[in-house]
């Protein structure tokens, strides 16, 4: 399970958020007068992190369908697939709302919503990794 988690952490999560991390790093260099938190907020205020969440959840759904689980874990697997689908639809819908809004939206609200959705995404994916590996 540890190997699968490390693989997911570096390639599934790490490479997914790398563009946002680089954007934040560039903003920190360009605007040293702003705090790291403000530069982070500025780098995710258009909802980019929500797209990353949708992509990570999509891969998670594929992994759950690909792997077999023992009969005892079928309900949990079904729940994790359902949670992943609902979160992917929700994050995609929120991003569409942000991208198509004709009125200015609160940057901090978008940023904190994105970070919360990333947290929920990570919880779902880690639970999925644990489920898939407990079948052995």
Q: Do the Cβ atoms of 28 and 36 come closer than 8 Å?
A: yes
Q: Under DSSP, is residue 1 helix (H, G, I), strand (E, B) or coil?
A: coil
Count of structural domains, the chain: 1
For residues 12-41, give the mean pLDDT: 93
In which region does residue 8 sit, left (phi positive, over 0), alpha (psi from -120 to 50) or beta (all else)? alpha
Range of the domain at 71: 2-134
Q: Do the Cβ atoms of 44 and 27 come closer than 8 Å?
A: no
The per-residue pLDDT for 9 is 87
Please state which of the ranges 4-13, 76-85, 87-96 shows the lowest mean pLDDT.
Answer: 4-13
Look over the chain and give the mean of its residue pLDDT values, rounded to a whole number.
90
Residue 10 token pair: 């570096």
* Residues 110, 129: Cα–Cα separation, whole Å: 28
The per-residue pLDDT for 134 is 54
The per-residue pLDDT for 106 is 92
pTM for this model (two decimals) = 0.86
């Amino acid at each position: 399970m540890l190997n699968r988690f490390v693989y997911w952490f570096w390639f599934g999560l790490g490479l997914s958020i790398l563009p946002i991390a680089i954007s934040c790093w560039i903003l920190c260099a360009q605007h040293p007068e702003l705090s790291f938190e403000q530069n982070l907020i500025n780098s995710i205020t258009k909802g980019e992190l929500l797209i990353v969440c949708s992509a990570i959840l999509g891969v998670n759904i594929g992994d759950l369908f690909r792997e077999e689980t023992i009969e005892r874990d079928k309900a949990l697997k079904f729940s994790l697939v359902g949670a992943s689908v609902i979160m992917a639809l929700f994050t995609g819908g929120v991003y569409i709302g942000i991208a198509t809004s004709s009125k200015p939206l609160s940057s901090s609200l978008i940023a904190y919503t994105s970070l919360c959705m990333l947290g929920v995404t990570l919880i779902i994916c880690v639970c999925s990794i644990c489920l898939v590996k407990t079948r052995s």
